[in-house]
Amino acid sequence: MEPTVETNVKSVRRSKDEKKVLRKLLKASHTLLKHEGIIPASQPTKSLVVANGGLGNGVSREELSAALTEMGEVETLVMPRHKPYAFATYRSQESARKAHMHLNGEKLQCGENSVTLYLSYVDSGTCLKRSPLPEGLVLVEDFVSLEEEAILLAAIDWSSTNDDVTAQKALKHRKVKHYGFEFRYDNNNVDKDKPLPAGLPEECLPVLERCVKDGHIVTMPDQLTVNQYEVGQGIPPHVDTHSAFEDTILSLSLGAKVVMEFRHPDGRLVSVLLPERSLLVMKGESRYLWTHGITPRKFDMVPACDPQSSAHTTSVRGTNSSLTLNKRGTRTSFTFRKIRHDPCHCVPSAPSPSQPSPPLLPCCHADAAQLEEEYVHQVYNAIAPHFSSTRHSPWPRVCHFLSSLPAGSVLADVGCGNGKYLGVNPEVIAVGCDRSSALVQICADRGFQAFVSDALSVPLRAASCDACISIAVIHHFSTQERRLAAVRELVRLLKPGGRALVYVWAFEQEYNKQKSKYLKDQNKEHPENHGPIYNTSEDRQLADNYKPVDKIQDVSKVTNGKLSVHTNRTAFNTQDLLVPWHLKEGKTGELSKSENSPAPVFHRYYHVFQEGELEQLCVQVAGIKVQSSYHDQGNWCVILEKE
């Protein structure tokens, strides 16, 4: 036991309930230490970390604040984005002691659900680092007054349904007008030889003159796009076309605040709150390298005002800001740009994800975690919209497993991706989790219950699930120990008699003289989109005590200890490798159509399993048996049963 944790919860005598709370508290503390690096303080302090009390598991700031303030005056309450924990600092240490004593193990009602809180002391300021805004991005609050905002909004007449003068259109997710030049969404460009009859509205001129005076732009813009977003609407991630416009882009937000997400090709995500009447200035890297977009949803997580201060944090930088939920309103954006007449030479130099320096195979837990962070977690966050667009059809044999579950069964989809299996059987209670916050957000947008979690430590009670599925997840863990830990975690979640279905990518892409769909589709335009089909495989029924096959050979050797990059749609020649993912240009709006902006290629780590290897891994876990196993068009699969 960690000595700091033991000191944190020590008492002379404990009742049965107190011992239960102690066990849960220790587990929560170890989880926070293992996955977040949050170390409990050795002595009581004024600050507490509240496990289970975060935005990531459905707790709102108002609900948690109400419970905490009953114990005393709270100076600060920090709720990190997508995380299942929060930080509270009291004005006095005595109030923190009172909260630690009375709220530990207490249930907090959150709408129709309830969560159990576990509190530990931490040093003040723990986990409050902030990431910088993208280079070249400037946000100016209150750039226009309330009166100017009203004048600008009144200048836009939305009553016409087909206005050729302003090229007004009703797009799928918003209404749009163009002034000066029409932006063509069919080719992501403008026709420079066909200006629109009406120039920019004269109401905009005082605002633009102030932009020149303040140094935000050098020359006056000649193109304006006005977008109106109703509650729940957004715009896909994109980079404004390089060849059509000059460097600096101005965006004025009117009517309501919204969170805009900027994403770097390496997976970094910065969410920026755009308040009403604020001006966003994009140039340099923020203009050319980072995508920006607005996720369609009705609520945003926004910085919470500190009642002790008149300052209001306006950007959600990284994952560690004090946040609450804000309902969106109708927002109108004025985006000003200058038409480019010369060739585009504007793409900044930046490390390309297309040509990584091949990493070494990990030799310890820390190296493995780092490898997976860079070549699994960051990649899936970066490619989430495109990845989701290729994962729309549930696999038939997984559907068969899910449909066989009795009504009322509790199902956990560990590594749920975009949630395509969460709605297969409406008679079960399904919850998903995934390491990618971007994919979990897609699940939420589709109306599914999902949360961010590592597959090695899922914050669900032991023996709480009738069934678990792990589809195309365990092959992303880079050591035998971590793959084994992933299976153990599935078994921990199962009730006695519960079943788990596990799929991993197979080394043998040709089996029983039949090539998998992955090999057959060699001429596919986007060869990264592999996925099994199911039509010929038969289950291999197994005895309770599975005897490993003898044919597993060591094919994991890599050149100079470095992983190789696999050639898509070809047979595997090693078990540990990097598999390319080509972002599809134009499909999700993530990339410019400019010839100077090639579609990036990301690389994902895989350990492809040999025949018998998955069964050998599973039987090392006590208390389960391999009920059946099979090969399904390029995947090894097992059904496990907890004894």
At what angle are helices 365-372 and 480-493 packed, to 10 degrees? 80
pLDDT tens digits, residue range 146-177?
999 999 999 988 887 656 666 666 665 678 88
Strand ranges, E, within 285-399? 291-294, 299-303, 315-316, 323-327, 331-337
Q: Are residues 375 and 483 in the same domain?
A: yes
Q: In terms of pLDDT, which residue wins out, 496 or 295?
A: 496
Of the candidate ranges 292-306, 308-322, 332-346, 421-435, the one whose mean pLDDT is the lowest = 308-322
Cβ(402)–Cβ(626) under 8 Å? no
Of the candidate ranges 206-215, 361-370, 617-626, the one whose mean pLDDT is the lowest = 361-370
Q: Are residues 406 and 497 in the same domain?
A: yes
Q: In this predicted structure, what is the pLDDT of residue 167?
A: 65
Length of the chain: 643
Domain CATH for 37: 3.30.70.330
Cβ(381)–Cβ(237) under 8 Å? no
Q: In this predicted structure, what is the pLDDT of residue 176?
A: 87
Cα separation, 2 vs 118, in Å, equals 17
Quickly list DSSP for 20-85.
HHHHHHHHHHHHHHHHH-PPPPSS--SEEEEET-SGGGT--HHHHHHHHHTTS-EEEEE--TT-SE
User: Would residue 621 count as lying in a domain?
Assistant: yes
Q: Which of 55-64, 230-239, 440-449 is most confident?
A: 440-449
Cβ(249)–Cβ(333) under 8 Å? no
HSE toward the beta carbon, residue 302, CA cutoff 13 A: 19
Q: Is the pLDDT of residue 269 over 80?
A: no
Q: In this predicted structure, what is the pLDDT of residue 186?
A: 62
Q: Quickly tell me which residue has 């863990």 as its tokens.
A: 477
Q: Are residues 331 and 400 in the same domain?
A: no
Q: Are residues 376 and 449 in the same domain?
A: yes
Residue 480 has a CB neighbour count (10 Å cut-off) of: 12
| Beta-bridge mates of residue 616 | none
198-226 average pLDDT score: 91
| Beta-bridge mates of residue 250 | 281, 336
Q: Are residues 33 and 111 in the same domain?
A: yes
Closest among 88, 22, 90, 24 to 53, alpha carbons compared: 88
User: Would residue 73 count as lying in a domain?
Assistant: yes
The confidence band for 318, taking pLDDT boundaries of 50, 70 and 90, is very low
Environment class of residue 602 by beta-carbon count within 10 Å: exposed (0-12), middle (13-18) or buried (19+)? Answer: buried
Domain CATH for 275: 2.60.120.1520
Q: Which two tokens stand for residue 474?
A: 């365990």
How many independent structural domains does the chain possess? 3
Q: In this predicted structure, what is the pLDDT of residue 432?
A: 96
Closest among 526, 605, 587, 564 to 188, alpha carbons compared: 587
Cβ(332)–Cβ(156) under 8 Å? yes
Q: Are residues 490 and 629 in the same domain?
A: yes
133-155 average pLDDT score: 91
Q: Are residues 425 and 278 in the same domain?
A: no
User: Would residue 538 count as lying in a domain?
Assistant: no
| β 429-434/410-414 pair status | parallel
522-529 average pLDDT score: 46
Q: Is the pLDDT of residue 359 over 50?
A: yes
Q: In terms of pLDDT, which residue wins out, 147 or 42?
A: 147
Residue 550 has a CB neighbour count (10 Å cut-off) of: 7
Q: In this predicted structure, what is the pLDDT of residue 238?
A: 80
Q: In this predicted structure, what is the pLDDT of residue 18?
A: 66
Q: Is the pLDDT of residue 587 over 70?
A: no
HSE toward the beta carbon, residue 59, CA cutoff 13 A: 30
User: Would residue 521 count as lying in a domain?
Assistant: no
Cβ(77)–Cβ(86) under 8 Å? yes
Q: Are residues 141 and 117 in the same domain?
A: no
Q: In terms of pLDDT, which residue wins out, 640 or 133?
A: 640
Question: 502 is in which domain, residue-wise?
Answer: 365-508+616-642
pLDDT tens digits, residue range 530-549?
433 333 333 444 433 444 44
Q: In this predicted structure, what is the pLDDT of residue 353?
A: 45
The confidence band for 403, taking pLDDT boundaries of 50, 70 and 90, is very high
Q: Is the pLDDT of residue 553 over 60?
A: no
User: Would residue 461 count as lying in a domain?
Assistant: yes
Q: Are residues 76 and 157 in the same domain?
A: no
Mean pLDDT for the chain overall:
79
Q: Is the pLDDT of residue 402 over 70?
A: yes
* Alpha-carbon dihedral sign for residues 604, 605, 611, 614: negative
User: Would residue 572 count as lying in a domain?
Assistant: no
Q: Are residues 437 and 374 in the same domain?
A: yes
Q: Are residues 188 and 59 in the same domain?
A: no
User: Would residue 421 count as lying in a domain?
Assistant: yes
Of 121, 147, 166, the position where a domain reaches its end is 121
Q: Are residues 59 and 145 in the same domain?
A: no
Q: In this predicted structure, what is the pLDDT of residue 71?
A: 94
Q: In this predicted structure, what is the pLDDT of residue 542?
A: 40
Q: Kindly list the strands in the beta sheet with 429-434, ordered across the sheet, starting from the edge strand earlier in the chain.
A: 450-452, 429-434, 410-414, 465-471, 494-505, 635-642, 624-631, 540-541
Q: In terms of pLDDT, which residue wins out, 78 or 538?
A: 78
pTM higher than 0.75, yes or no? no
Q: Which of 4-13, 237-246, 381-390 is most confident?
A: 381-390
Q: Which of 111-115, 493-497, 558-562, 600-604 is most confident?
A: 493-497
DSSP state of 609: B
Domain CATH for 456: 3.40.50.150
User: Would residue 66 count as lying in a domain?
Assistant: yes
